Amino acid sequence: MNIDIAALRRRLDELEQDLGSESVLSDRALFAKTSKEHSHLSRVLEVAVKRSKLSQQIEDDRGLIKSETDPELLALAEEELPELEASFEAISQELSDLLIPPSEDDDCSTILELRAGAGGQEAALFVADCVRMYQLYAAKMGWKVESISAAESDLGGFKEHVLIFSGPNVWRLLRHEAGTHRVQRVPETEAQGRVHTSTITVAALQDVQESDDDFHVPESELRIEATRSSGAGGQHVNTTDSAVRITHVPTGIAVFCQAERSQHKNKDTAMRLLKAKLKEIEERKKRSEVDALRMQQVGTGDRSEKIRTYNFSQNRVTDHRLGMTRYDLDRVMDGELESFSKALVAWFQQSQKQSLGFSWVIE
């Protein structure tokens, strides 16, 4: 896939004219959309120009190697060519990633719900490991992360842990973490050194902020209860009814928050989580047949699916949707998830990418 740079520049000129027009300036939503497209295409142009220059350099070096008789110039060209080819491959991948159209939901704050599945205490310990993994990933990406609630297990793991992530491209990169994660390792409590398989589930939800006026939950449908916080947190947390549980009566969905000492803050956070769950149900109902087909191709993210396996004895991690395996599990558990995230974004949107309809994209 190549870029018609002249056509792309013409499109950017059109967008710049639109940004100066009264009709766009007076429409906040249209101005924001046009600005976002202009910013995105400016980056596409920058990368496409670099790629074009590298391509020309590679072509020149290959021609020089075939025709040059000067040993010094020939040696320089032969030394430079592999570096140029590696740079070309890297920038081609960057351009390919950029050609996946940005979505207005890309920066939406994301709720991850991690729960222990099969495997008892070992599953709960792996929840704690994955919480750390996602927190380190957030730190690498410059995202903010908040803990909504956590239910600790006896050995220091978590039966459940709920986190909210916010920052650039957070939904774009985290949404495909939803599903069943399988871990294979020797538990510390296993005297005979046998590999134990256990699972945890991860749910990924868009955070529905209070500013979302289109999504309203009537108070009459809610049952709100103040409860005593549990787990670590000091004497004050454990002896006051600051935790909040909200149940949506029509669906039976219940959420719980104990992150703050303030009951009011816990109620607000619990409502964010409840709205996220209800909105996910609503969005599922709205999906078209085309969307459902694409979801089948990459996995729906339902918790019944084993999307990834973490094998500690082999230092191996495999994403089953991609068929992608890395032998640096230790680095993945230290938050190096970006290669998986970007590959999943590309694969998930492949059908959309093949029909972009951009006049400046040449197959």
Residues 75 and 192 in one domain: no
What does the pLDDT average to over 264-293?
69
Residues 152 and 243 in one domain: no
How many angstroms separate the CA atoms of 53 and 207, rounded? 42
Residues 172 and 153 in one domain: yes
Any idea what DSSP says for residue 314?
T
- Give the residue from 44, 77, 99 where a domain finishes: 99
Count of the separate structural domains present in the chain: 3
Residues 249 and 193 in one domain: no
Name the token pair of 274.
């409840």
pLDDT in tens, 323-350: 999 999 999 999 999 999 988 887 777 6
What does the pLDDT average to over 27-38?
89
Position 72 in a domain: yes
Q: What is the CATH number of the domain that holds 179?
A: 3.30.70.1660
Residues 75 and 93 in one domain: yes
What does the pLDDT average to over 165-175?
93
Residues 298 and 177 in one domain: yes
- Give the residue from 40, 66, 99 where a domain finishes: 99
CA nearest neighbour of 270 among 249, 280, 255, 250: 255
Using CB atoms within 10 A of its CB, is residue 281 exposed (0-12), middle (13-18) or buried (19+)?
A: exposed
In this predicted structure, what is the pLDDT of residue 59? 92
CA 166-200-330 angle, to 5 degrees, is 75
Contact 107, 175 (CB under 8 A): no
Residues 73 and 170 in one domain: no
Find the radius of gyration of the CA atoms of the chain. Answer: 25
Contact 314, 307 (CB under 8 A): no
What does the pLDDT average to over 82-95?
90
Position 358 in a domain: no
pLDDT in tens, 182-231: 999 988 767 677 888 999 999 998 887 644 556 677 777 778 887 766 55
Residues 294 and 274 in one domain: no
Q: Is the entire prediction scored with pTM above 0.75?
A: no
Contact 360, 11 (CB under 8 A): yes
Q: What is the CATH number of the domain that holds 36?
A: 1.20.58
Residue 310 has pLDDT above 90, yes or no: yes
- Give the residue from 285, 316, 337 where a domain finishes: 285
pLDDT in tens, 284-296: 765 554 344 334 4
The more confidently predicted of residues 32 and 329 is 329
Domain that holds residue 255: 219-285
Q: At a CB cut-off of 8 Å and minimum separation 6, what does 47 contact?
A: 91, 94, 95, 98
Position 362 in a domain: no
Handedness of CA 73, 74, 77, 82 (dihedral sign): negative
Question: Among 20-29, 106-115, 159-168, 244-253, which stretch is predicted with the lowest mean pLDDT?
Answer: 244-253
In this predicted structure, what is the pLDDT of residue 291? 47
Position 57 in a domain: yes
In this predicted structure, what is the pLDDT of residue 329? 96
Q: How far does CA 129 lie from the centroid of its chain?
A: 18
Percentages of the chain per state (helix, strand, coil), in multiples of 5: 50, 20, 30
Residues 127 and 200 in one domain: yes
Relative to beta strand 196-206, strand 324-326 is unpaired
Position 361 in a domain: no
In this predicted structure, what is the pLDDT of residue 270? 80
Residues 194 and 310 in one domain: yes
In this predicted structure, what is the pLDDT of residue 212? 54
Residues 263 and 314 in one domain: no
Q: What is the CATH number of the domain that holds 274?
A: 3.30.160.20
Residues 299 and 196 in one domain: yes
Residue 235 has pLDDT above 90, yes or no: no
Position 105 in a domain: no
List strand residue ranges (DSSP E) for the chain, in order: 2-3, 110-116, 144-152, 158-166, 179-185, 196-206, 222-227, 243-248, 253-257, 306-311, 316-319, 324-326, 361-362
In this predicted structure, what is the pLDDT of residue 72? 86
φ and ψ of 347, to 5 deg: -70, -45
Work out the percent of the chain whose per-residue pLDDT is above 90: 41
Residue 301 has pLDDT above 90, yes or no: no
Position 199 in a domain: yes
